[in-house]
Structure 1
Amino acid sequence: MREILRRRYLTMVIPVVFLFGTLYLLYGMGILSHGRFQPPPFWYPVLFTLAAATGVAGPILIRTLFANVSKGKKQVAAEDFLLFWKNILHISLITPYFAFTAVFCEFPEFYSGGMVLMALYALYYSYPSVDRISFDRKIFRVEESEQ
């Protein structure tokens, strides 16, 4: 199960790392100049709010809903637990793409800095480590059929 989640995590993270690397490489080589992409200012708080919703609030909501659904059960199916983790990955790993958009479009520092911090939090929070998976399996009483 951890390997499936780890693969999914890397599949979603590697493209945004590549995008950030390419952006800074283009800036460093002088191919791309600063100030070329300026969206209308109303987009700053919109994308900032979306980043907060996907990076912080979304995973909390998914975790709370899963806990509420599984609270009356003696055991939770491993498939349901895997789906729960995939949902956390899908919602939280959208945030780095919002952060890339903010950096690429050169949002004001408050918005871009906040979105980068939310992206880093989302990357940290959603990483499927062995300890995290085993802790969640104990909390949600996931059946032991699949490790």
Structure 2
Amino acid sequence: MLEKKLKKNYFLIVTPAILLIFIFLLLEKNNIILNFPLGGKVLSTVIIILSASTSTIFPIWYKLLLIKKLKNNKKVSFDDFTSLQNRVTITTAFSIYWIFPAYMYQLQEIPMLLIAFFAIYALYYYYPSKRRIEMEKKTFRINPD
């Protein structure tokens, strides 16, 4: 049940981004380019930091907050665990959207590759598979369903 809910949220967020990528590629192929003046180093840095945050930093931070909150408890409640998984799934799925401002501001190749790397990492690593959910249940000492 948790896996289905997480996958639904995941695909509700990721599917429009993938469609947008195809639309951008189609527009570019037809020489219709949607972009703004060249983005500078500051903009590149900001987008890379935001991309890294949504793909790696925030999920770790959410887990640490849950651990700190439940420091004295031996087990984590299933509701807290579900809330954590939902937050992590939604946050990491949004990491793909940083590709669009990077593309529209014509960032250089290396920053674009970093942003794409963070997005692919988040989409792959935090995909709500049964195996990952079971592994996290063991980590947080959640009883099997």
Q: TM-score normalized by structure 2?
A: 0.88
Q: CA deviation at 1:55?
A: 1.2
Deviation at 1:38, TM superposition (A): 2.3
Q: 5+ unaligned residues in a row in structure 1: which ranges? A: none
Give the corresponding residue for 1:37: 36
Partner residue of 1:25? 26
Note the C-alpha offset of 1:93.
2.1
Q: Would you say the 8 A contact 1:58–1:91 is kept in 2? A: yes
- The answer as to whether partners of 2:14 and 2:94 remain within 8 angstroms in 1 is no
CA–CA distance in 2 between the matches of 1:39 and 1:88? 32
The answer for the alignment partner of 1:125 in structure 2 is 125
Q: What is the distance in 2 between the residues matched to 1:111 and 1:125?
A: 21
CA shift for structure 1 position 106: 1.8
Aligned residues: 143
TM-aligned CA deviation for residue 103 of structure 1: 2.1
Q: Structure 2: how far apart are the matches of 1:113 and 1:104?
A: 14
Rounded to whole Å, the distance in 1 between the matches of 2:121 and 2:114 is 11
CA offsets 1:23-61 (integer angstroms, 9 cap, x no match)? 00111123x137x42254131111111111111111111
Q: Is 1:47–1:98's contact at 8 Å kept on the other side of the alignment?
A: yes
Identity %: 27
CA distance in 2, matches of 1:82, 1:39: 42
Residues 53-99 of structure 1 deviation map (CA, whole Å, 9 limit, x = unaligned)? 11111111112222333343232221111100111122222221112
RMSD of aligned Cα (Å):
1.7
Is there any run of 5+ residues in structure 2 with no aligned partner, and where? none
